[in-house]
Amino acid sequence: MKQLDPSLLSFNTVCVHGSGGVDPQTGAVSTPIYQSSTFAFECAEDGAAIFAGEREGYFYTRLGNPTQAALEREMAFLERGEAALATGSGMAATSTAVFSAIDAGDNILAARTLYGGTHKLFHELMPRFGLETRTVDPNDPASIERHVDGKTRLLFIETPANPTLSIVDIRRCVRECRRHGIALFVDNTFATPYYQRPLELGADVVIHSATKYIGGHGDTVAGLIVGKKEFVQRARMEIMRDLGGIISPFNAWLLLRGLKTLPVRMERHSENAMQIAQFLNFHPKVARVWYPAMRTHPQHEIAASQMAGFGGMLAFELKGGRDAGVRLLNSLGLMTLAVSLGDCDTLIEHPASMTHSTYSAEELAQVGISGGLVRLSVGLEGIDDLIADLDQALGKVPA
């Protein structure tokens, strides 16, 4: 079977063809789904050697499966990392990666603006086990300096961040983390490796909720960790093995299928989002629009310096506050009122009462999530239909 060198091919070509070519055993163009929980050994000695880690081989799907391995190989390549680990959800990716890096008595630094589930893990579950999370402003070296100590292991950021699309300067975080001898973990869910590759900028670990743009069709919950071989191996053999948050072979296959169209989807998501951002920007009932491509975005320059495109997520604030937000959501005809993001369908939600309801009122205010803030995951529909739907719904919102 012919083998191409993926490092000589464009990102788009590798997405379509994969970095490893067709299945070497059968020539199958689509990676086969190895729907098997267990794998037979050739002989007793072979089984003992695989169990002892002296020989490579599959033996039980919680510890590895060929379909999962194919997905991990692709994601490691696309994120420019040494290795990847696929997990059963984005939260399994975050928890598995963080637990792989810390021990009892350690602390971590985390940005204030994070996915609501991540925030809850860091501030509610981890403290129950004596693991402290210190909130920092990752764009401010003095804030990191104030909170870091000898027990700090990592800084966890998300950029663009959920839901306000705030941008963290990855290069600056890399500098600060190296100075303090801690690792930088980046949740790259919103940008995907098509638009942003934190490992190339010096970050240590990338996390994905693959539920979103990697899968891309709103049908699969999954996650991914990408980083150095040694770190990923520890995450797999020490943490995943015991916590058990694995991906199913079928879901791994759905993500492999998603990757084939990642570049074309991301480009359409971005084009549609830009047009909607411009429409909302001039709408009299809209107080503010947050989309990193716009010059009015407070961190537009940072976004432009580290992203190759701006993606399909945007947020906007209605002048009429929470009541206007509720009225808008209930007046839409085409857009789907649902959480999650990165789907082909446009999804619209209200962070204060939905995805970020785990934040206290004070925390919501600190990160700028007002009652009138609406988050939009712009889909792949015709742009005229999307704008017409928003326009008619905004017409029903009291001024």
Ligand X SMILES: *Cc1c(COP(=O)(O)O)cnc(C)c1O
Which residues are identified as catalytic? 62, 115, 187, 212
Q: Which of 72, 74, 79, 158 binds ligand X (CB under 6 A)?
A: 158
Query: By CB under 6 A, what part of segment 327-346 binds ligand X?
Result: 341
Closest contact distance (angstroms) between CB of 382 and ligand X is 25
In three-state secondary structure terms, 367 is: coil
Q: By CB under 6 A, is residue 187 in contact with ligand X?
A: yes
81 vs 73: CA distance, rounded Å: 10
Query: By CB under 6 A, what part of segment 365-394 binds ligand X?
Result: none
Q: What are the distances in angstroms from CA 118 to CA 187, 201, 365, 372?
A: 10, 23, 18, 23
Q: Is residue 330 within 8 Å of 208, Cβ to Cβ?
A: no
Q: Is residue 204 within 8 Å of 235, Cβ to Cβ?
A: no
Q: Please say which residue, 240 or 286, places its beta carbon nearer to ligand X.
A: 240
Among 333, 378, 375, 377, CA closest to 354: 375
209 vs 90: CA distance, rounded Å: 4
The binding track of 53-92 with respect to ligand X, each residue x by CB under 6 A or -, is ------------------------------------xxx-
Q: Is residue 276 within 8 Å of 126, Cβ to Cβ?
A: no
One-letter amino acid at 367 equals V
Applying CB under 6 A, the span of 5-13, 110-118, 245-253, 299-307 interacting with ligand X comes to 110-118
In three-state secondary structure terms, 6 is: helix
Q: Please say which residue, 349 or 389, places its beta carbon nearer to ligand X.
A: 349
Applying CB under 6 A, the span of 193-201, 206-214, 272-280, 284-292 interacting with ligand X comes to 206-214
Q: Give the phi and the psi of residue 349 in degrees, each rounded to 5.
A: -150, 170
Provide the pairing of β-strand 313-318 with 373-377: antiparallel
**Structure-token pair, residue 162:** 């959920």
Q: By CB under 6 A, is residue 121 in contact with ligand X?
A: no
Q: Give the phi and the psi of residue 136 in degrees, each rounded to 5.
A: -130, 160
In three-state secondary structure terms, 318 is: strand
Applying CB under 6 A, the span of 101-109, 113-121, 232-240, 243-251 interacting with ligand X comes to 113-121
Q: Which of 96, 211, 270, 377 binds ligand X (CB under 6 A)?
A: 211
Q: Please say which residue, 19 or 270, places its beta carbon nearer to ligand X.
A: 270
Q: Please say which residue, 186 or 393, places its beta carbon nearer to ligand X.
A: 186
Q: Is residue 313 within 8 Å of 190, Cβ to Cβ?
A: yes
Residues contacting ligand X: total by CB under 6 A: 16
Provide the pairing of β-strand 152-158 with 107-111: parallel
Q: By CB under 6 A, is residue 223 in contact with ligand X?
A: yes
Q: Which of 34, 77, 99, 115 binds ligand X (CB under 6 A)?
A: 115
Q: Which of 31, 67, 95, 118 binds ligand X (CB under 6 A)?
A: 118
- Whose CB is nearest to ligand X? 90
317 vs 7: CA distance, rounded Å: 43
Closest contact distance (angstroms) between CB of 347 and ligand X is 11
Closest contact distance (angstroms) between CB of 340 and ligand X is 7
Q: Is residue 246 within 8 Å of 88, Cβ to Cβ?
A: yes
The per-type count for the chain, helices as H runs and strands as E runs, is 17, 12
Q: Give the phi and the psi of residue 167 in degrees, each rounded to 5.
A: -115, 135
Q: Please say which residue, 81 or 117, places its beta carbon nearer to ligand X.
A: 117
Q: Which of 73, 123, 212, 350 binds ligand X (CB under 6 A)?
A: 212
Closest contact distance (angstroms) between CB of 203 and ligand X is 15
Q: By CB under 6 A, is residue 14 in contact with ligand X?
A: no
Q: By CB under 6 A, is residue 176 in contact with ligand X?
A: no
Write out the residues near ligand X by the rule CB under 6 A. 89-91, 115, 117-118, 158, 162, 187, 189, 209, 211-212, 221, 223, 341
